[in-house]
Amino acid sequence: MRERVFSGMRPTGKVHIGHLVGVLEKWMELQKEYDCFYSIVDWHAMTTDFEDPSELKENIFQLLADWLAIGLDQENSVIFLQSQVKEHAELHLLLSMLVPMPWLERNPTLKEQVRETHIPKINYGLMGYPVLQASDILMYKGNKVPVGVDQLPHLEIIREIVRSFNRLYKPIFPEPQEILTKTPKLLGIDGRKMSKSLDNCIYLADPPEVIREKVHQMVTDPQKIRRGDPGRPDICSVFHYQQIFSPGKIEDVRHGCEAGTLGCVENKNNLAKTLADYLGPYRERREQLIGSQEKLKEILEYGANKARPIAQQTMHEVREVIGLWS
Ligand code: TRP
């Protein structure tokens, strides 16, 4: 049997190209080697967005369209919406008994989130975020979990939960291992971490004119004022992107910039074109998909129908080994 991969993303809006190069291209690759479960984790989104969930449904469609446009394949992988498989809630509840509060109270990911987003009060659901995440992975007996470094503390908690469960009842769950995805591989157009809240993202959905406008806002070497001035590509955002999107031409760009034969405006035009060509096919596919919400709903239904029997089987086993009525 092939090993299983599980990962999830919260539906908070459109996918930006930082997700694409950092995470989703990895997810794509894993489809070849593993049985993959990719979930849109709307209950996780609720832990912070519970006061105004009005955009949740729309965001689910946006995320799904992006995933499918990139090439995540609903035949090959199980692509599903967390809240359509209610078993996750039951497993979350049962696992919560195994979690001493201090594990959650010292969770560095939560502390950072509180610091960064100024969450005034931590609710019980947010506190239990890693436990819900454990229920996602364990439900499908996931072996490998592609995540960014920020999620490593959660994986540690999840492994502790698995060890407790296996020791107390029966060893039915594997200890999931992370596959590290490179989170800050691609910086935002202002040179900071690419993030929706910083408003510095390029989205898969951006048409060529928008890409062009954003590329022209990028910061280059401030000492290179005119075309003839020698530039320092290593501190230039445009060059940073070109290393990723046009590796074949990178030496020419470096040389042209340093020698002063390549101007920033021309180089930005080149990058805008490269990005527009790279993202064009994704954007066209996502536009088609987003235009048909009925079809997207069917795809979610299809995924939930594949996930649910596995979840039911796991829950049957869980109740059995704990000694609950099934
Ligand atoms: N916590 C993850 C994030 O914020 C999302 C997530 C939910 C997840 N359940 C998961 C990731 C299970 C990996 C496995 O990025």
Mutate to test the pocket of ligand 1, among 7, 77, 79 (most ligand atoms within 8 A of CB): 7
Q: Mean pLDDT score of the chain, rounded to an integer?
A: 95
Cα(188) to ligand 1 centroid in Å equals: 22
Mention every residue, 6+ apart, whose C-beta is less than 8 A from residue 208: 272, 276, 280
Cα(6) to ligand 1 centroid in Å equals: 9
Residue nearest (by alpha carbon) to ligand 1 atom 3: 9
Beta strands in 134-259 (DSSP E): 144-147, 177-180
With a cut of 50, list the residues of the chain below it in pLDDT.
none
Cα(130) to ligand 1 centroid in Å equals: 8
For 69, the token pair is 């446009």
pLDDT at 184: 55
Asked whether 189 and 200 are in contact (CB, 8 A), the reply is: yes
- Would you call 176 helix, strand, or coil by DSSP? coil
Give CA–CA dist 220/239, Å, rounded.
Answer: 8
pLDDT at 82: 99
Give CA–CA dist 190/217, Å, rounded.
Answer: 8
Give CA–CA dist 123/44, Å, rounded.
Answer: 13
What is the CATH T-level fold of the domain 4-186+293-322, as seen in this structure?
A: Rossmann fold (3.40.50)
Mutate to test the pocket of ligand 1, among 67, 135, 151, 180 (most ligand atoms within 8 A of CB): 151
Report domain extents, the chain.
4-186+293-322, 205-287
Give CA–CA dist 128/100, Å, rounded.
Answer: 11
Residue nearest (by alpha carbon) to ligand 1 atom 6: 8
Q: Which residues line ligand 1 (CB under 6 A)?
A: 6-10, 41, 44, 133, 136-137, 145, 147, 151
CA distances to 18, 21, 185, 186, 261 from 194, rounded to whole Å, are 6, 12, 9, 7, 30
Mutate to test the pocket of ligand 1, among 44, 48, 132, 157 (most ligand atoms within 8 A of CB): 44
Mention every residue, 6+ apart, whose C-beta is less than 8 A from residue 275: 17, 202, 211, 215, 241, 245
pLDDT at 181: 84
Element (H, E) at 313: helix 293-322
Give CA–CA dist 92/242, Å, rounded.
Answer: 44
CATH class of 205-287: mainly alpha
pLDDT at 286: 96
